[in-house]
Structure 1
Amino acid sequence: MHIAVLDRERCHPKKCHHECQFYCPPVRSGTPTIEFPVESEQPVITEALCIGCGICVHRCPFGAIKIVSVPDEMNKEIFHQYGMNSFRLYSIPTIAHGKVTAILGPNGMGKTTTINILAGITVPNFGNYDKGGSKEDLLDRLSGTVMGDYFDALYSGEKKAVIKTQYIDLIPKAVRGKIGEILKKNDQTGNFDLVSSQLNLEGSLEKDVESCSGGELQKFAIATALLKDADIYLMDEMSSYLDIRERVNVANTIQKLAAKKTVMIVEHDLAILDWMADNVHLVYGQSGVFGVIVDPKTTNKAINSFLSGYLREENVRIRNYAIDFQEKSQKRTSTGQTLIKWMDLTKKLGDFTIHVNPGEIKSGQVIGVLGRNALGKTTMMKILAGVLKPDTGSVDENIRIAYKPQYISTDFDGTVEDLVLSSLKELAASGFVKNEILKPLDIEDMYSLNVGDLSGGELQRLSIALTLCRDADLYLMDEPSAHLDSVYRMAAAKIIRRVMEANKKSALIVDHDIYLIDLISDNLMVFSGIPGVNGSTYGPTNMKDGMNRFLSEVGITFRRDETTHRPRINKLDSALDREQKTSGNYYYSS
């Protein structure tokens, strides 16, 4: 079975003069598998005739065509398809009242489409995209099932659903005014004070939406959804821009909500997902082509299957490598020379002051940076990168630095390929660059896209790749996990680590994803202080001391999974949580 997908944003038939039509081998009485209907200037791939040869894929100069071979034994009915040669979704998750049900998988495989279906915004068409979706057809097909009852109650108006969108960066374009006034105006539950307190929003209520940080916009979006009087809450990506303490607060709030309501979440932070969800539906397929939602698994089993790269019950390999964690804190010990050294650094920005205690980075060392939002982590990175000058103190350096900022500019006017070639020049042809950086991050798949049209995740992958490709001694990377799905987060961690080891380079990585920091770092630097008022640093120090210091301030502990050794957040005030806090082992056993 072959699935043919045509990306109509990439297809430019006038530019290629319908070249793809002439390189498609005629089959079955001379009928080409790619045709140009009279009513459309864009080609149509006749899937019934497609033999999956792949010639059209390689001949298309814009990378607009994908032909994917799907095993016949998958034997699944299409649940929803957007159109001819377009993405299709197989199956639908099962959600339950009183539990947090989650979807875990890469972007572009139908998670947001699923959320829209569960909210009643999109009615599935079961592959009949010309006819369109029918509520009656859906209810008939799902009659007698849990999800049949769910949609019956939703469509009849007996139950209401609300969505927390993932696109929080668009909020300032759609909403005007102060956070507090907007939330009070839209409060349908009378829980304004409670929700504001749970999400630590009190200090942001007087801020205008236009001037809010990413974290404040995220909490505003979550609060808006929680204050709606609904029966079903569909929460799409809640951890972006939030530090670990705020993620735990949000997780606590969602768990309390699920005790009374029906909750479905999409989340990429595996540590938070593990702690928050009761059941998880994994998704596999190919981005932009098709997605298959598998039957629910316990959260622990689902995440372990995801990390192993193999779904045993489905007999499907979703990745050709496993992701492993170390139970003990011993990482690489750098014996290299001092690469960069700084004395007491201070910088005052408005009412905020940062103090960076003396420290150094050695050759071949990878240091992770942890701390709450608004403590000066980005300011320190800018000082080390030479973007900002400290008010006091000095940085002793004579090295080449590659800096990936937290917020990425899209000012470049041209395609991704243009940017890669102009930035890397002869390095773009390097086998190491192609095989170890560009290919694992799927950068070449974006070559024909304009940089200004990239999504947040695509832009992040491109920025990571360009930073790692630069010939530098020290790589400064500010929140590389932002906007990345769980698959690309783990891939980015592996790539960054491998590039540093292969080239004997050093890196300083700021991030809020504990799994990513664990996989990348040899040592840690920890920020403490009062958010928005002052911040100070501790370290660089070893992994155990750094994690203990950071997590003691956050107030949480981690245990280790017996199978994968991945870190798992302990329930607050559980016997194990109290035992680890007493012993001082918040993260590592030794």
Structure 2
Amino acid sequence: MTRISILDHDRCQPKKCNYVCIEYCPGVRMEEDTITIDAKTKKPILSEELCSGCGICTNRCPFKAINIINLPEALDDPIHRYGKNKFELFGLPNIREGSVVGILGPNGIGKSTIIRMLSGELKPNLGDYESETSWEDVVNFFKGSQLQSYFQKLSEGKLKVVHKPQMVDMLPKFVKGNVKDLMEGVDERGAMEDVLDALELRPILSRSISNLSGGELQRVAIAAAALREADFYYFDEPTSWLDVKQRLNAVQVVRTLSDAGKSVMVIEHDLAALDAISDYVHILYGEPGAYGVVSQMRGVRVGINAYINGFLREENVRFRRHPIVFDVKPPALEVEAEALANYSPLKKSYDEFSLEVDEGEVQHDEIITAFGPNGIGKTTYAKMLAGVTKPDDGQIDKKVSIAYKPQYLVSDFDGTVQELLITTATNYGSNIFKTEIMKPFSLEALMEKEVSELSGGELQRLSVAVALSRDAEIYLFDEPTAFLDVEQRLKAGKAIKRVVESRNAAGIIIDHDIVFIDYVSDRAMVFNGAPGEHGHASSPMNLRSAMNSFLSSVGITFRRDKETKRPRVNKFGSYLDREQKEKGEYYYLES
């Protein structure tokens, strides 16, 4: 069995622990160089050849910086390794001409590394991180496979590749001018007019790139990639920042590339969007930050269902102990009960935008989701309910305590994650805190990190956890799934449900991920109107009625997967799409 040793350099703090890993290592006590000290970094180097796998260093390290992993024997040689005691990737996905191949897996498992290698930004080192790997070595490594020809052409500059990166918020640093100039400059396929209409970009053509919101930058980045002429297109998380309709519009734009015979690869965490956009999927499993393995290619439905079940039958690999379960919820019965909070019709006006909210009430032990287009007033509603913004008309009739997680995350706390939790969490250190907060959000691995240095996903997990760790009657979350992978989203949803029910409280969640909404909702609110001008919010209603109302306004229908019961998007104009629209069932047909 192959063994790898991983050292998290950010968490390793030898000055504070005085090398307890070396002190307790049996190999070192036998005068072997099992653990040595790097002369430059002063951090330990773990010998994978000499390590016995006893796990003592892993358990003794006070900062949980060491991870000793026994790899499955069936793994081939690695495709890439970042360095000694660093992340290792096994396998690469297949590429299908005229098809969209989806990549599904947790954060830190190697997805972006794969796209960087296939786009030519990073040369695979085949596990030899100490010397320069030649393109000839790479081509020979893949001899007899589809990737042999791919890397041969890529190394010779005979392939043109377009890569839509994950971090679209960096776009203004590299691109100047307005949206129209950018679109005209990259329109190599002569498809600008169609793409502008599909992604609804015409209203912002005159806007400067530096003045665009996150969702606008995402749509511009997708358009810029789709308009260029290339052999292969790579899209890294194309639906982040987008609302439901915009996500489906982005799906259509990407699908037009494969319809034109192009090869496309997409990394996506929204299961509904991934299902709609992909023909095939590869699942990545392993241990985030340590190693990643690329599974066999599967059809999109079979692949996503295998991910939900946590078991790859062909590889005989189980990467999750229990499957993710989706419940088909019948319309909730109206029960007379004392409301936790209620509010009269609310109004709020700004210079260029106004919002009207129908009266409603929030019940104990329920989660209400709110969905609709971007710029329609969902965040304004959240702020009024949280007391951050006062309504112009109407009032919250029953004052309740609210824990609020805002949409935009700010990491201005000066200190570590542990120091933040000590000052904000009411039950920090208790067994309940460890069970309900620490474990679901994997905070133990972040405790010694500075809050200002957290990634987007880490900061999101921390922000949701901080809100849940407070004593409150209503827990209010504005887009809690941003930057999170599929696993983290559903874990967050489960944690929110557990806290709400155990504390006889309520949760209100604003989000765009239909699968997540379906997973957590008891009731829902629909926002509609003209984005950026005026919005209207309905009273909370049962999820099925809310979804039917919202999806009918955007012309999208969903069905239920027969095996997992997860929501799946129907292809526009398909038999199921037409049948459900005729019956007025845009969300799902009853079985």
Aligned CA distance change for structure 1 residues 331 and 288 (closer, same or farther; 3 Å): farther
Residue equivalent to 1:76: 76
Q: Which moved more, 1:559-568 or 1:372-381?
A: 559-568
Question: By how many angstroms is 1:172 displaced?
Answer: 2.8
Look up the SS of the partner of 2:508 in the other structure.
Answer: strand
Residue equivalent to 1:409: 410
**Partners of 1:434 and 1:281 in 2: CA distance:** 34
CA contact (8 A) 1:539 1:546 kept: no
Residue equivalent to 1:310: 311
**Partners of 1:472 and 1:156 in 2: CA distance:** 61
**Partners of 1:126 and 1:57 in 2: CA distance:** 27
Look up the SS of the partner of 1:528 in the other structure.
Answer: strand
Aligned CA distance change for structure 1 residues 564 and 526 (closer, same or farther; 3 Å): same
**Partners of 2:332 and 2:447 in 1: CA distance:** 37
**Partners of 2:137 and 2:112 in 1: CA distance:** 22
Structure 1: gaps of 5 or more residues: none
One-letter identity of the residue aligned with 1:329: P
Look up the SS of the partner of 1:154 in the other structure.
Answer: helix
One-letter identity of the residue aligned with 1:178: N
**Could you give the per-residue CA deviations for residues 42-67 of structure 1, whole angstroms, max 9, x where no partner exists?**
22100111122222223333332221
Question: By how many angstroms is 1:185 displaced?
Answer: 2.9
One-letter identity of the residue aligned with 2:129: Y
Q: Which moved more, 1:333-342 or 1:109-118?
A: 333-342
Look up the SS of the partner of 1:428 in the other structure.
Answer: coil
Report the TM-score when normalising by structure 2.
0.96
Residue equivalent to 1:345: 346
Look up the SS of the partner of 2:171 in the other structure.
Answer: helix
Aligned CA distance change for structure 1 residues 68 and 95 (closer, same or farther; 3 Å): same
Residue equivalent to 2:530: 530
Residue equivalent to 1:418: 419
Aligned CA distance change for structure 1 residues 332 and 109 (closer, same or farther; 3 Å): farther
Question: By how many angstroms is 1:429 displaced?
Answer: 1.6
After TM superposition, the structure 1 = structure 2 runs for residues 91-130 of structure 1, keeping only pairs within 5 Å, are 91-130=91-130
**Partners of 2:39 and 2:429 in 1: CA distance:** 42
**Partners of 2:514 and 2:163 in 1: CA distance:** 27
Residue equivalent to 2:575: 575
One-letter identity of the residue aligned with 1:31: E
Look up the SS of the partner of 1:89 in the other structure.
Answer: strand
Question: By how many angstroms is 1:491 displaced?
Answer: 1.2
Question: By how many angstroms is 1:15 displaced?
Answer: 4.0
Residue equivalent to 1:200: 200
Residue equivalent to 2:383: 382
Question: By how many angstroms is 1:27 displaced?
Answer: 5.8
CA contact (8 A) 1:83 1:129 kept: yes
**Could you give the per-residue CA deviations for residues 232-268 of structure 1, whole angstroms, max 9, x where no partner exists?**
1010001111011111111011111012211000000
After TM superposition, the structure 1 = structure 2 runs for residues 450-465 of structure 1, keeping only pairs within 5 Å, are 450-465=450-465
Residue equivalent to 2:563: 563
**Partners of 2:334 and 2:121 in 1: CA distance:** 54
After TM superposition, the structure 1 = structure 2 runs for residues 424-503 of structure 1, keeping only pairs within 5 Å, are 424-425=425-426, 427-503=427-503
Question: By how many angstroms is 1:327 displaced?
Answer: 3.0
Question: By how many angstroms is 1:493 displaced?
Answer: 1.4
Structure 2: gaps of 5 or more residues: none
Look up the SS of the partner of 2:340 in the other structure.
Answer: strand
Aligned CA distance change for structure 1 residues 32 and 269 (closer, same or farther; 3 Å): same
Question: By how many angstroms is 1:193 displaced?
Answer: 2.5
Question: By how many angstroms is 1:187 displaced?
Answer: 3.3
CA contact (8 A) 1:328 1:588 kept: no
Residue equivalent to 1:187: 187
Aligned residues: 588
CA contact (8 A) 1:363 1:505 kept: yes
**Partners of 1:11 and 1:365 in 2: CA distance:** 42
Report the TM-score when normalising by structure 1.
0.96
Aligned CA distance change for structure 1 residues 39 and 379 (closer, same or farther; 3 Å): closer
> In the alignment, is residue 322 of structure 1 matched against residue 323 of structure 2?
yes
> In the alignment, is residue 12 of structure 1 matched against residue 16 of structure 2?
no
Look up the SS of the partner of 2:559 in the other structure.
Answer: strand
One-letter identity of the residue aligned with 1:445: A
State the identity as a percent.
44
Residue equivalent to 1:67: 68
> In the alignment, is residue 43 of structure 1 matched against residue 44 of structure 2?
yes
> In the alignment, is residue 284 of structure 1 matched against residue 302 of structure 2?
no
After TM superposition, the structure 1 = structure 2 runs for residues 128-167 of structure 1, keeping only pairs within 5 Å, are 128-167=128-167
Aligned CA distance change for structure 1 residues 289 and 232 (closer, same or farther; 3 Å): same
**Partners of 1:424 and 1:501 in 2: CA distance:** 19
Look up the SS of the partner of 2:565 in the other structure.
Answer: coil
CA contact (8 A) 1:5 1:289 kept: yes
Question: By how many angstroms is 1:28 displaced?
Answer: 9.3
**Partners of 2:488 and 2:136 in 1: CA distance:** 39
